[in-house]
Structure 1
């Protein structure tokens, strides 16, 4: 029962809601005058000046006009109205703390108050602040390649989402957003729904990919009479930094594959494989795989990986500085061991340590050709690993 209650409370915490926040500012002032009203006037003027740095002359003129009546209740009500008007809403009420007569004049102490109420829409789920924003675009040109690209785009988006490293932003469904905006503004929706507007995230990175080449050859088996298609696809992709329009990463993937029966599931599997390679390439460039924990002779990773995949891991040593630009380009890497992924959950992967002594924070990369690359001292990478996770490429 306790577990059910805990899950329910967690789900409630992730719900969307409009949060109302009310704050009250105050300032005190002291004033003197030949009459009680004049002393209060001058105290109010001093307090408002402290509260918001507003024009004293405009306040004084407005309040002096308001003291034309001798009825104390009307004086207070009119003061509050004129204060609000004179300060353009920067103060809305006051209290007289004390008034006393001394040496033929009155001395008053007042406190001015300004209450502000704001509302803010809080989106459901985890906060987006800890992740970088990315948008994915298919820029393939001809009809066939653009059609393949649409499928590939969806699968790349899925891969990036499952990595839990990015906020992946939608840029292809504007018409649907416009319909919802029109509904909010129509008057039929509840008033607080308007706070959902003006919360759109702007991208940090733009991923552009282009299916630049597609070739295939159909072959028929003399033995079975069945045909199969041997195909080759070339995909160019780049990552742009939106703020500066710099190209931060660029690569070309050339993939060969064989289509035996042309079924939908076979086509989907091929596109999934290509999307996985592109996404992994980008993730390894921005967020090299990092050991989150070592327990029971297993390396634990905070993302979903492929079962059976092997990785080589490296500990980070001395930082390397470019001789010309004086920028830190990365760290010397010393190989610490190999792991093989043996267990996977939607958010965590476990790798059996095959060899070496791997520790928390080691960087891991897929083994090329399924074997050791034959070196103990790794490449000098062009990135800097952040203590809190992730890697700074100057990105």
Structure 2
């Protein structure tokens, strides 16, 4: 009688996108054991590990089932169709098939060594998973930090909403793979369902081992949201204008996960006018505006908006769309030059940036946008000698001033209308 073992591999994973597909990969692997069956099991385990990977916190569990047969040739049976079908069934299709190259006892060690060629099913991740991966950790709200015109806010709730807004902004930018760190408990429950299900199809099981780890983590503090109703009395009349005043402050850091090195750090101070907030703005609107400002600071530092094409001399195509930019926004147009190095550290400081004009966004789609350039040299033609990565956009410092002027103009217009209505 021969006792044969089969096994199930359980590996922690994060599911990627539902649009990913299954592919089959051929690998060779070796395994060692006390007998031919355990050596084969070890080799198959190694084969699966080569293809689907095993993360640091992966849990690989070998469970043994026994089957009896009157076949006296162990090697023949381990290579038989029946046994291969048993392996495919026990691994739920992750091991498509395999062939034994050798399976013999090493007299010097007393162990059996199996060498196999196996075809392993692999969950093929989408191209978006190859982007730089970032995990947004919930900001820490300082106690008593947050107050709006409506009253005190729970700092944890405010920090959570801002953190969610940052994640949403970075997802919209389509430049990062943003990893969830807020709902891991729900993801873990789904993984457990996959692990324990008896009839889970191979398309689901092949997701095992596909956990994505962050290249960077974003951490920081929500220092203050101090907003209040303010009044201004007009000198020429008894009219009193109410508006939202105050300030918002936050600081963030982007840390390299592998080394712990701080790759980017910034302290941001904002006011309601800059963010386009009004007395009617609720916590969700405030959080979205603050999160977008923080997210853009990150995007501008790592992936500034690039000009991908030029038409009609001054019409530019941009590689960013969605909620990242909006029609009417104005950015500085920078031309990139030669690389500059720090004279002390000899590290690259990036390419020289020369402002050659501004770009106003005229059209926005989910993945890209278009803008009209106003050039310092009106005789210039951006399409001449254009190359990818030749031009980028930076935040325009005059945006705040223009927004304030626009708001002031609207107030004056409303006052004039009210005055005319009275008289």
Q: TM-score higher than 0.5 here?
A: yes
SS of structure 2 residue aligned to 1:270: helix
Question: Kindly tell me: are residues 350 and 255 of structure 1, through their superposed partners in 2, closer, same or farther at Cα, counting changes over 3 Å?
Answer: same
Aligned pair partner of 2:333 in 313, 324, 339: 313
What does 1:353-392 correspond to in 2, within 5 Å?
353-355=373-375, 356=377, 357=380, 358=382, 359-360=386-387, 361-370=390-399
Answer yes or no: is the 8 Å Cα contact 1:14–1:126 preserved in 2: no
State the partner residue of 2:135. 135
Question: For the residues of structure 2 that align with 1:183 and 1:92, how far apart are their CA atoms?
Answer: 37
Answer yes or no: is the 8 Å Cα contact 2:272–2:278 preserved in 1: no
Moved more, 270-279 or 152-161: 270-279
TM superposition shift of 1:255: 1.5
Relative to the length of structure 2, the TM-score reads 0.59
SS of structure 2 residue aligned to 1:196: coil
Alpha-carbon displacement from aligned partner over 1:269-288 (angstroms, at most 9, x marks no partner): 33322222211111111112
TM superposition shift of 1:224: 7.3
What does 1:12-27 correspond to in 2, within 5 Å?
15-22=19-26
- 1:215 and 2:226 aligned: yes
Question: Kindly tell me: are residues 225 and 333 of structure 1, through their superposed partners in 2, closer, same or farther at Cα, counting changes over 3 Å?
Answer: closer
Alpha-carbon displacement from aligned partner over 1:44-77 (angstroms, at most 9, x marks no partner): xxxxxxxxxxxxxxxxxxxxxxxxxxxxxx99x7
SS of structure 1 residue aligned to 2:129: coil
Aligned pair partner of 1:235 in 250, 253, 270: 250
State the partner residue of 2:216. 205
State the partner residue of 2:205. 194
Aligned pair partner of 1:284 in 272, 290, 300: 300
Number of aligned residue pairs = 285
TM superposition shift of 1:321: 2.1
SS of structure 2 residue aligned to 1:198: coil
Alpha-carbon displacement from aligned partner over 1:111-133 (angstroms, at most 9, x marks no partner): xx95412111124x43412x100
SS of structure 2 residue aligned to 1:128: helix
SS of structure 1 residue aligned to 2:101: coil
Question: Kindly tell me: are residues 347 and 188 of structure 1, through their superposed partners in 2, closer, same or farther at Cα, counting changes over 3 Å?
Answer: same
SS of structure 2 residue aligned to 1:245: coil
Answer yes or no: is the 8 Å Cα contact 2:133–2:178 preserved in 1: yes
Alpha-carbon displacement from aligned partner over 1:195-247 (angstroms, at most 9, x marks no partner): 22221110011111211123344446786789655232211111111111111
Answer yes or no: is the 8 Å Cα contact 2:229–2:244 preserved in 1: yes
TM superposition shift of 1:176: 0.9
- 1:163 and 2:179 aligned: no
SS of structure 1 residue aligned to 2:293: helix
TM superposition shift of 1:363: 2.1
Higher relative contact order (CA 8 A, sep 6+): 2
Relative to the length of structure 1, the TM-score reads 0.63
Question: For the residues of structure 2 that align with 1:82 and 1:216, how far apart are their CA atoms?
Answer: 73
Question: Kindly tell me: are residues 210 and 191 of structure 1, through their superposed partners in 2, closer, same or farther at Cα, counting changes over 3 Å?
Answer: same
Higher CA-based Rg: 1
State the partner residue of 1:101. none
Question: Kindly tell me: are residues 139 and 82 of structure 1, through their superposed partners in 2, closer, same or farther at Cα, counting changes over 3 Å?
Answer: closer
Please give the root-mean-square deviation of Cα atoms over the aligned residues, in Å.
3.4
Answer yes or no: is the 8 Å Cα contact 1:83–1:92 preserved in 2: no
Aligned pair partner of 1:182 in 187, 192, 201: 192
- 1:327 and 2:342 aligned: no
SS of structure 1 residue aligned to 2:271: strand
Answer yes or no: is the 8 Å Cα contact 2:227–2:247 preserved in 1: yes
Question: Kindly tell me: are residues 117 and 314 of structure 1, through their superposed partners in 2, closer, same or farther at Cα, counting changes over 3 Å?
Answer: same
Task: Point out where structure 2 has 5 or more consecutive residues left out of the alignment.
Answer: 1-16, 30-70, 81-97, 104-114, 144-152, 402-423
State the partner residue of 2:123. 121
Question: For the residues of structure 2 that align with 1:19 and 1:83, how far apart are their CA atoms?
Answer: 24
SS of structure 1 residue aligned to 2:141: coil
Alpha-carbon displacement from aligned partner over 1:318-361 (angstroms, at most 9, x marks no partner): 32222222222223233333221111111111111212443442
Answer yes or no: is the 8 Å Cα contact 2:337–2:352 preserved in 1: yes
Answer yes or no: is the 8 Å Cα contact 1:312–1:364 preserved in 2: yes
- 1:301 and 2:318 aligned: yes
TM superposition shift of 1:263: 5.0
